[in-house]
Amino acid sequence: MSAKPLISHAAASLSGQVRVPGDKSISHRALMFGALAIGQSSIEGLLEGEDVLRTAAAMRALGAEVTRGGDGRWTLFGRGVGGLAEPEDVLDMGNAGTGARLLMGLVASHPFTSVFTGDASLRSRPMRRVTEPLGRMGAGFVGRSGGRLPLAVIGTASPIPISYELPMPSAQVKSAVLLAGLNTPGTTTVIEREATRDHTELMLRGFGAKLTVEVLANGARAISLTGQPELTGQSIKVPADPSSAAFPVVAALLVAGSAITVQAVGTNPLRCGLYQTLLEMGADITYANARVEGGEPVADLLVRGSELKGVDVPPERAPSMIDEYPILAVAAAFAKGTTRMRGLAELRVKESDRLAAMARGLEAAGVTLEVEGDDLIVHGDGGLPEGGVSVPVNLDHRIAMSFLVMGMASRRPVQIDDASAIDTSFPGFTEMMNGLGAKISRVAE
């Protein structure tokens, strides 16, 4: 795939109404649970980015019937819990880390072997955090050093229920274990010291699984799933992705005179750490028309250009905004005062080492900052950063979009070396932002 360099120039102001693509986390899970349910499921608003389309293809390879209608609605006829079929070929998950890790859990308790691979970015990412608990349940694994892809998952015919305490906050690891527990007799329990996004729990209950959440004496959460339920097909309406909404929201805050509305954004409390932080920084964001769609809270976000101030972001907020730290770092560069983002170890094992990538790019654009261990400290003076840089994004969609947003408000344009990864989560990003008034264009050959 050839690189797609883009350059972002300063915008006069942003205005208009948009709806960003559907929530990626919910889209992955909707496809998986629909493939396990008895009967028909329908999905409205599915994110049709490359990551989710890889999951759709994987569910077909595992025996589910998955089709897209001309109206954009997806229909699935599932195989039932325990009814997945051995795939005839390698499951190529592209850049989809969520899809890969959750699917490993799903197939770990099926008696067949599946082989997973992905693009260069996904093949470099650690999978041992998933394979370790799945191995306790009886699955086997053969892969590269560090448990990296390509990786064969040797499913077990006699899975063992476990009680597993997460060593770090991770909705992906939690979900992988619970998905393995679906086809495991008995009760599988995951204990998390810090609450992570709970889309798996909400959706499993919606499909008919017996799942309980208990708050322990030390404040940890114990999520227990009774294995081998009969899931029944459901109609799912996917809310707009709060992680994707972060980019037009922050762009509107930074570009003076902007006023935009981002429609039907998911406002699940375990996903809204960024918006809480932006409000603390002085952002003019109003939640309007709050409602519940498909079991998830949503609202329209009314956003106006704002003067931001630096804040201290506590480490316990990280699970609710782990994907949004790159765009928060951009906002911090425009704020007045110091913003301290603490406890960002998880950023080092995302699509790229996001902590290092953001620090390098921001410094090159004239921003004063320090990295102390797993903390990122950005010093803003309330003025506009210089910009005028070309940033390597290392196939990381969130790094790419963050620096394009920076270019919309910095003194000089900001260029990225390759925008091709953006389609993994936000197809149509450039067109949507330009429709609001941004000035993003291809770089002349």
| Element containing residue 265 per DSSP (H, E) | strand 259-266
Which residue in the list 119, 323, 396, 418 is annotated as catalytic? 323
Question: pTM of the entire structure?
Answer: 0.87
Dihedral, CA of residue 289, residue 295, residue 297 and residue 299, to nearest 10: -40
Task: State pLDDT tens for residues 185-199.
Answer: 999 999 999 999 999
* Mean predicted confidence (pLDDT) in 76-99: 96
DSSP class of residue 253 equals H
How far is 394 from 399, CA to CA, in rounded Å? Answer: 8
Of the CA atoms within 13 Å of residue 316, those in its CB half-sphere come to: 6
* Mean predicted confidence (pLDDT) in 285-290: 97
Task: State pLDDT tens for residues 312-360.
Answer: 999 999 888 989 999 999 999 999 999 999 988 878 766 568 888 999 9
* Mean predicted confidence (pLDDT) in 271-299: 94
**Domains by residue range for the chain, with CATH:** 6-22+239-442 (3.65.10.10), 24-225 (3.65.10.10)
DSSP class of residue 305 equals -
What is residue 295's predicted lDDT score, i.e. its pLDDT? 76
Tell me which long-range contacts 360-367 makes (C-beta under 8 A, separation of at least 24). Answer: 360/391, 361/389, 361/391, 361/399, 361/403, 362/329, 362/330, 362/333, 364/389, 364/391, 365/333, 365/389, 365/391, 365/406, 365/410, 365/414, 367/333
395 confidence band (pLDDT: 50, 70, 90) = confident
Query: Do residues 197 and 319 touch, judged by C-beta distance below 8 A?
Result: yes
Burial label for 290, CB within 10 Å (0-12, 13-18, 19+), is: exposed
Which among 138, 219, 221 has a CA at the least distance from the CA of 211?
Answer: 221
74 confidence band (pLDDT: 50, 70, 90) = very high
Binding-site positions: 24-25, 29, 97, 125, 170, 172, 323, 350, 354, 398
What is residue 352's predicted lDDT score, i.e. its pLDDT? 62
Examine the residue annotation and report whether 396 is marked as an active-site residue of this protein: no
Burial label for 368, CB within 10 Å (0-12, 13-18, 19+), is: middle
> Cβ atoms within 10 A of the Cβ of 194, count?
19
What is residue 445's predicted lDDT score, i.e. its pLDDT? 59
Binding-site positions for 3-phosphoshikimate: 24-25, 29, 170, 172, 323, 350
* Range scoring the smallest mean pLDDT among 110-114, 314-318, 432-436: 314-318
How far is 329 from 370, CA to CA, in rounded Å? Answer: 12
Q: H helices then E strands: how many in the chain?
A: 13, 24
Which among 283, 206, 294, 415 has a CA at the least distance from the CA of 22?
Answer: 294
How far is 206 from 212, CA to CA, in rounded Å? Answer: 13
Which among 238, 213, 246 has a CA at the least distance from the CA of 398?
Answer: 246
Where are the alpha helices (H) located in 93-169, listed in sequence order? Answer: 97-108, 120-123, 128-136
The share of the chain scoring above pLDDT 90, in percent, equals 87
What is residue 349's predicted lDDT score, i.e. its pLDDT? 62
Burial label for 73, CB within 10 Å (0-12, 13-18, 19+), is: middle
Query: Do residues 284 and 304 touch, judged by C-beta distance below 8 A?
Result: yes
Sign of the dihedral defined by the CA atoms of residues 68, 71, 73, 77, in that order = negative
How far is 226 from 241, CA to CA, in rounded Å? Answer: 29
* Mean predicted confidence (pLDDT) in 16-27: 95
Dihedral, CA of residue 275, residue 276, residue 278 and residue 279, to nearest 10: 120
Residue 58 clears pLDDT 90, i.e. is over it: yes
What is residue 296's predicted lDDT score, i.e. its pLDDT? 86
| Two tokens, residue 84 | 């997945």
Strand partners, 154: 113, 140
* Mean predicted confidence (pLDDT) in 47-56: 94
